[in-house]
Structure 1
């Protein structure tokens, strides 16, 4: 058995009974210690801070492109900036840049939610910014592909496709198309709907980014010949931006109808706009009776039909006789059918209500109705309410859940066949598309924006009505309890409007059209096609990158 001294000697000399082993490296020659996680993150934050700051600024610029600011050219600048900031980056870096861009954009766009609470603004903005993070990752990995501006535009469509549907039915606010309801790109909606407008905006912006990137590369020793690609990209961007000017917007009417839109107003903006029971109902009934008196006195022309907004009856007229009688009195006074907005108790499910538009005839009373198909999560119903209310006590204020309807809003109101969509439904392509294809000759948006009065939200929603008018070649009538009530011509022009928090009546003659646009006929096909192309471009970029890494590994062997 070896002695202790022998064992020590073997250890020092680096030998064992089985043979010599390498000696441990001296401490001075050891590999440098890897920085701690916190230090690495701090270094990363310092490196990314300038790019992140630029992404935040770009997101704010995109917010300014939307109502109430309406600076639509900034959308091109903003989207181009995001393309440049993600170009040549890794997917992870692109995702962070996209998230920073999206967070600042949505906080500015959705600040009207502060009426409910700033936590709602931040929470929803973070959720929506996650989609922009995925977009940023996609932009980064596809930026190395030939023709990358096209893939960029397709990825913007794919991002909006996902955001319009997920989660809980999606939230389409902030689509690029909704910033272009009065730009040269707007007529493209008649060809491919909102997705085609988004594609064109993103393509023009990406081409501008390509132009800027090329010019930046020529800042030293650049020749005129090498600047040709930049000039070509700029020319293509201008051509895309102006392409809509060449698209005819059909406005020829087969028939017309005289309408009156009643904006009864509310006592005050905010969460408690309802006031005492029957106040809003009485406001709309009184305004309608005043119109009837003007008609009788020869001061106003008698309309063929009257439109009241969403929630214009604050009590269920089928359950409360005083509400029924007050509405019926006003309808009989004007002597024509009135489309009334009301919350109606579900006949079998306690705690659930229908958000309805009801055709009220002066002789027959209430008749056909449309029930809102897409209630707003956390506003009109609370998913997992029992669990969430324990954490967020504000959800306890939602005492009743809205129950979704199961059919389109095609309604015969007097001599007109109208398509009714209620409030936020105007943001959803499929709901409006199905209503027009069901036979609607004009569209009505019954809405109640009193909670968000004077916050910019009513302007954003009206912009959607303007785009829908062009997309479907239909007049769009927006009736709001507190504003903005408006009449939009088929070419997207606002012909009449009532300011917010004003009681008033708009009388107008609107066209009734049967002809459909190309967007009506192709439906969601362009959106699906462009989104799939965008996803395939990501797959192609990933495959090319993997192949390149494999070649590098083989070359090192």
Structure 2
């Protein structure tokens, strides 16, 4: 599974991994299934999330990987609880259907709990270059995960059916496999057909946008120790990009933390920002850390208009736990003194952001800011897009990857932005303090992609669009549908379990109750 994600980018391993995990769990007892899922989780999350401990040590990294792995372990446990009563009955094909449903629910759970969850490294986010990627437009990231898992289960079923064909005489239940395979083909290939037969639209009015990746003096947690240098890098990058250019862009976008000096309270920082805006002759969207309210600080996007005045602001709605605020600080200090690196907690914003960008001689458009990890949260991205869905807009993902060094985190985040572009039918200006940055088209393709830890300024022409995609319209319906279908399967399994444990009568008299859990496990061919 880890090979499917950046920077390996071998997306086809995702369905193969689902198939192998499905084969390993099928027919297993719950405790064994839990351990198998835990092993899969460690094997996947330890390398994929290794960036989380690059500068803070192994403990936070291993703790995070363990937490995420537990969700996969619970998924496997629930899957086998649903499957076992079904495997020895005519409902056997439904046992396989539990797998893609469980993947959707598992990702939903770990993307929302605890402390708001971490919806990173989802099946959908490995598919930016996959033929299945356009399906995100119709069913969002949860639907894309479901499609990938269906392909994986189809591979598992095909291997089982083939083993029955070439192995010992076929048992009666093997006749169900062609029917099951047909159903899974429809489930798995219908999204592929939708993706292949339709192309995500990329039409719209082009606007000129300048993004500036100013870079930092050095990577690491102390990147903001030289806050003035970071701000100067972005100011100088803007000024240099505009040298010799007669036509100003419609907008200039800086990344998160491009000004960790509060420009609303520090006059020197305010003068620098004004100098950059004067050079660009255009509205300026910057990422800034603001002092307040009270004992807190704010991670904000500030929008400066050419005519001057106080900037409009958007405050990050989902600060990252243990990175931007410390829950239960005194308790977690017992495990690591690294919690005190976050000296002041970031406050949580209470509304989505959107700024109207004036365009000389044309209709205005809206820029919708998203800050860093917020791009991974379905609800935040959907609300941000739909709130001004009738207004032509583009999305801005402002991020700072300096704290993750030369790891895969930047590429993983860029891949998420590519899926979001398809899902919401929008252009995305993905700009990082240190990279990776780039302009992403509504079909997930990209231009002007930058490298890590290099200063860069790029002009692009993203299209502004007004469409509300099918994914935006259905919202969380795929997750609700998965929960409902799983509940039905669980109820059916419980009914079969009770029936199998009933008292059976024979001509010789009553027999002892038969406990399904103590019966021999259903024999299933191993698949490797």
* Fold shared by both chains (TM-score > 0.5): yes
* Pair 1:173 & 2:120 matched: yes
Q: Give how far 1:313 is off.
A: 0.3
Query: Paired residue for 2:254?
Result: 308
* Pair 1:321 & 2:267 matched: yes
Give the 5 Å matches for 1:520-535. 520-535=472-487
* Pair 1:446 & 2:381 matched: no
Q: Does 1 or 2 have the higher relative contact order (CA < 8 Å, sep 6+)?
A: 2
SS of 1:370's equivalent in the other structure is strand
Query: Paired residue for 1:506?
Result: 458
Aligned partners of 2:16 and 2:470: how far apart in 1? Answer: 30
Query: Paired residue for 2:418?
Result: 466
Query: Paired residue for 2:516?
Result: none
For residues 429-461 of structure 1, the C-alpha deviation after alignment (integer angstroms, 9 at most, x for no partner) is 000000111115211100001111310000000
Q: Give how far 1:540 is off.
A: 2.6
Query: Paired residue for 2:63?
Result: 123
For residues 205-259 of structure 1, the C-alpha deviation after alignment (integer angstroms, 9 at most, x for no partner) is 1121111122223443457999886667667547357334345344243422110
* Pair 1:260 & 2:219 matched: no
Is the CA contact 1:313–1:340 (under 8 Å) kept in the aligned structure 2? yes
For residues 130-165 of structure 1, the C-alpha deviation after alignment (integer angstroms, 9 at most, x for no partner) is 111111012212334332232211111111111111
Aligned counterpart in structure 2 of residue 207 of structure 1, from 149, 154, 162: 154
> Bigger CA drift: 393-402 or 361-370?
361-370
Query: Paired residue for 2:361?
Result: none
Relative distance call for 1:152 and 1:551 in structure 2 (3 A) is: farther
Aligned partners of 1:99 and 1:530: how far apart in 2? Answer: 22
* Pair 1:332 & 2:278 matched: yes
SS of 1:501's equivalent in the other structure is coil
Give the 5 Å matches for 1:18-57. none
- Count of aligned pairs: 490
Q: Give how far 1:94 is off.
A: 1.2
Query: Paired residue for 2:28?
Result: 89
Aligned partners of 1:417 and 1:309: how far apart in 2? Answer: 17
For residues 16-59 of structure 1, the C-alpha deviation after alignment (integer angstroms, 9 at most, x for no partner) is xxxxxxxxxxxxxxxxxxxxxxxxxxxxxxxxxxxxxxxxxxxx
CA RMSD, Structure 1 to Structure 2 (Å)? 2.2
Aligned partners of 1:389 and 1:344: how far apart in 2? Answer: 26
Query: Paired residue for 1:542?
Result: 494
Q: Give how far 1:491 is off.
A: 0.3
Q: Give how far 1:516 is off.
A: 1.2
* Pair 1:160 & 2:107 matched: yes
Relative distance call for 1:268 and 1:231 in structure 2 (3 A) is: farther
Aligned partners of 1:271 and 1:481: how far apart in 2? Answer: 13
Q: Give how far 1:306 is off.
A: 0.4
Query: Paired residue for 1:556?
Result: 512
Structure 1: 5+ residue runs without aligned partners? 1-61
Relative distance call for 1:223 and 1:395 in structure 2 (3 A) is: closer
Query: Paired residue for 2:96?
Result: 149
Relative distance call for 1:157 and 1:264 in structure 2 (3 A) is: same
Aligned partners of 2:154 and 2:455: how far apart in 1? Answer: 47
Is the CA contact 1:110–1:121 (under 8 Å) kept in the aligned structure 2? yes
Is the CA contact 2:131–2:196 (under 8 Å) kept in the aligned structure 1? no
Query: Paired residue for 2:53?
Result: 114
Aligned partners of 1:277 and 1:468: how far apart in 2? Answer: 31
Query: Paired residue for 1:380?
Result: 324
SS of 2:499's equivalent in the other structure is helix
Is the CA contact 1:187–1:247 (under 8 Å) kept in the aligned structure 2? no
TM-score when normalising by structure 2: 0.88
Is the CA contact 1:328–1:362 (under 8 Å) kept in the aligned structure 2? no
Aligned partners of 2:503 and 2:126: how far apart in 1? Answer: 45
Query: Paired residue for 2:143?
Result: 196
* Pair 1:273 & 2:223 matched: yes
Q: Give how far 1:119 is off.
A: 1.3
Query: Paired residue for 1:11?
Result: none
Query: Paired residue for 2:377?
Result: 428
Query: Paired residue for 1:357?
Result: 301
TM-score when normalising by structure 1: 0.84
Is the CA contact 2:164–2:174 (under 8 Å) kept in the aligned structure 1? no
Which protein has the larger Cα radius of gyration, Structure 1 or Structure 2?
Answer: 1
Query: Paired residue for 2:39?
Result: 100
SS of 1:302's equivalent in the other structure is coil
* Pair 1:409 & 2:364 matched: no
* Pair 1:291 & 2:241 matched: yes
SS of 2:348's equivalent in the other structure is coil
Is the CA contact 1:212–1:230 (under 8 Å) kept in the aligned structure 2? no
> Bigger CA drift: 472-481 or 405-414?
405-414
